[in-house]
Amino acid sequence: MASSIESLPPGILAYILSRTPVKTIVYSKCVCKKWRSLLSEPYFVDLHLSRSHTCLVIHQEGSLSKCNIFKLGELEDKPDSFNIYHDPVMKIKFGLGFRYSVMHLSGTINGLTCIWHYSGSDETYICNPVTREYTLLPEHKIIRKPLPAVSYGFGFIAARNQYKVVRFYQGGYPLNQDLYKSDCEVYTLGTGMWRSLGQVPVGLGGCQNGVFLNGNLHWLAHDQHHITSDLVCTFDLEREFSELAASAPLVDENMNSAFRSLGVLGGCLCLCDNTSECEFVIWVRQDYGMKECWTKEIVIENDFETQLYKTVHVLTVLTGGSILMVVHNGHMFTYHRESKTLQRLDISWTKDFSICNVMVYVPSFIRLKSFMSERVLIF
């Protein structure tokens, strides 16, 4: 059987292997030099990515061991059933030997993940959990202390095959006139340097991830004259231009705007609003790029423990039409539109460590070594 498989033309062999699970492909590289070479070719990498199934990357933190673990959760997504599985082999562990540090999952694109680490200074990593490669980006041009209010975004320009990290640094204090201004930096993977775009008249709050959609990154924001997050900051990755566009649905000034988050639902920008005491709302911006076009897509009575006074994030829409969401405390649940019911997920393999963040992840075999000017290390 093995000899018959090896005799197949490379194109057919690549087609077959591209449809196998990620772990199987990793093990297949050890079969022979021919397979290892084939599975490293750009053709196979692109073919596999085009067929790769959606997973989750789950960032967990251990309070005693002071380590951060990034696990891949495979989705069993069928019309009549849903579950999340974890292969113990597919994980990455960061050991932090610091007394105080913060690690934050900032974005995922095509199998690459952006991670921000702060321990007296800012560090930005790009890694691929599948190939187990990572690179520490050069030191930022803008360095301030103490712990800054910093927001990241990670996006991709398909026409140029460019991956960009966008960083907004809000370093003002309550009595500082620059409180609602941010310094902006951009890093293009493979260039080896950060570029400063100067100061922009927008405040984003701290540790907010940019949502990537239609070539742009989006954050909830406020301008120099507003404290509440009632605007959307849109950053065009190609033009490297940011603007305050399309006002978000207004929030009561007495409510905490931190209980709102942006996401993607059905290919549209959405906003999860959990500021009300009686209901949780998902707003959807149907006509992308136009102002005042938010509509109430989903309204859920706020009568269960995972909603009240917490931030909720939309992850993905499942095969049967249900919506997979995660609460800030790490609990995941599904909302079934037809029955209008919620179902909390009991994931046993996430209980040893507290969940810090969950993001949609599409596994790939993109090699960081393919980007020039990057010093690549292996986990």
Q: What integer pLDDT is reported at residue 123 of this predicted model? A: 86
- State yes or no: pLDDT of 1 exceeds 50: no
Q: Where are the domains of the chain?
A: 1-51, 53-254+352-378
Q: Which residue has the higher pLDDT, 175 or 312?
A: 312
**CATH code assigned to 53-254+352-378:** 2.120.10
Residue 12 has pLDDT above 80, yes or no: yes
* Residue-level pLDDT at 313: 92
Q: What is the pLDDT averaged over residues 62-85?
A: 79
Closest C-alpha to 183, from 205, 199, 206:
199
* pLDDT exceeds 80 at position 329: no
> pLDDT at residue 372 above 70?
yes
- Written as one letter, the residue type at 118 is Y
Q: Rounded distance, CA 219 to CA 238, Å?
A: 17
Q: What is the mean pLDDT of residues 51-77?
A: 82
Predicted confidence (pLDDT) at residue 245 exceeds the cutoff of 80:
no
pLDDT for residue 174? 47
Taking the mean position of all CA atoms in its chain, how far away is CA 179?
26
Q: What mean pLDDT do residues 65-79 have?
A: 81
pLDDT in tens, 127-168: 999 998 999 999 877 666 555 678 899 999 999 999 999 998
Q: How far apart are CA 206 and CA 359, in angstroms?
A: 18
- Whether residue 176 is predicted with pLDDT greater than 60 in this model: the reply is no
Distance from C-alpha of 13 to C-alpha of 39, rounded to nearest angstrom: 10
CA angle 71/323/268 to nearest 5° reads 100
Question: What confidence score (pLDDT) does residue 204 get?
Answer: 76
pLDDT of 251 reads 55
Share of residues in the chain with pLDDT > 70 (%): 79
pLDDT in tens, 189-236: 999 999 999 887 777 766 689 999 999 999 988 766 655 556 888 899
